[in-house]
Amino acid sequence: MASDALPRVVRTRAELRTALASAARPIGLVPTMGALHEGHASLIRRARAENATVLVTIFVNPRQFNDPSDFEKYPRDEATDVRLAGTAGADIVFIPTVDEAYPAGFQTTVRVGALTEPLEGAVRPGHFEGVTTIVAILLGLAGAERAYFGQKDAQQLLVVRRMAGDLGIATEIVACPILREPDGLAMSSRNVRLTPEQRAAAPVLRRALLAARAGYDAGERDGEALRTAMRNVLASEPLAEPEYVSCADTATLRELAHVDGPALLSMAVRFGPVRLIDNEPLA
């Protein structure tokens, strides 16, 4: 499809099934919550490059919001999203209502175990059950050969990979790198909710991660020293309220006393009501 053509928008499970029945394979799925930015576009472009049909889904999933005001204030702009998705290469955009995503009588929950307990899971109760339930639905509806997820949500990516493996879902889960603003802030739909002062302060997450990364590159292997390096940089920014700072085993997401294998530096930091996350893999 020409990159400036509008994609086909479908809103019901039945319409999606019909659209996909005649779609060229392989199919690449890109699940999103809308308010699309360049980070999402990079996933869609990757899907475009690797598949014959690209399906983007836009659904602000109430089940994964532990904070009702975060759900209400989540930015929504369907017309702009559909255009951006089309420009990046989407053929089909699935935009279900809540009732279409969770039809009458819905009573299934997909819950992944220990991987969902630390980090985001510890501070956002119910979040990952919401994520894995909707992603399982979308993977089931799409029957795609590949599904694309951002490393920005590193724990989500690990949890979805685990779920797909555990449940024997044939879709390949593809990890995509984090896209950043020129000043290092990871692109996020929530960035538009920052005040100008908070926006100016927000690159402190990246600086904190890079400080720990520099320590690691210089030979530091003590987990607490790496966490302290991140905390110290965050403490230099009065508008930043850290929620957690982590140096964890990439396989289990358990905090490390000593880094002797693949590890993940990650953090969640509040700026007033807006919560930002970022991460940096080590080794």
Where is 268: in which H helix or E strand? Answer: strand 263-271
**Least distance (Å) from ligand AMP to the CB of residue 21?**
26
**Least distance (Å) from ligand AMP to the CB of residue 15?**
22
Active site includes 40? yes
Give the Cα separation of 45 and 43 in Å (integer): 5
Give the Cα separation of 261 and 252 in Å (integer): 12
| Choice between 155 and 246, CB closer to ligand AMP | 155
| Choice between 83 and 231, CB closer to ligand AMP | 83
**Least distance (Å) from ligand AMP to the CB of residue 27?**
17
Nearest to 12, CA basis, from 107, 101, 123:
101
| Candidates 37, 40, 127, 258; catalytic one | 40
**Least distance (Å) from ligand AMP to the CB of residue 258?**
29
The first and second tokens of residue 257, run together, are 């006393």
Nearest to 70, CA basis, from 82, 78, 62:
62
Give the Cα separation of 183 and 207 in Å (integer): 10
Q: Where along the sequence are the contacts to ligand AMP (CB under 6 A)?
A: 32-33, 39-40, 42-43, 149-150, 152-153, 176, 178-179, 186-189
Contacts of 253 (CB under 8 A, 6+ apart): 115, 118, 119, 155, 158, 246, 264
Catalytic machinery residues: 40
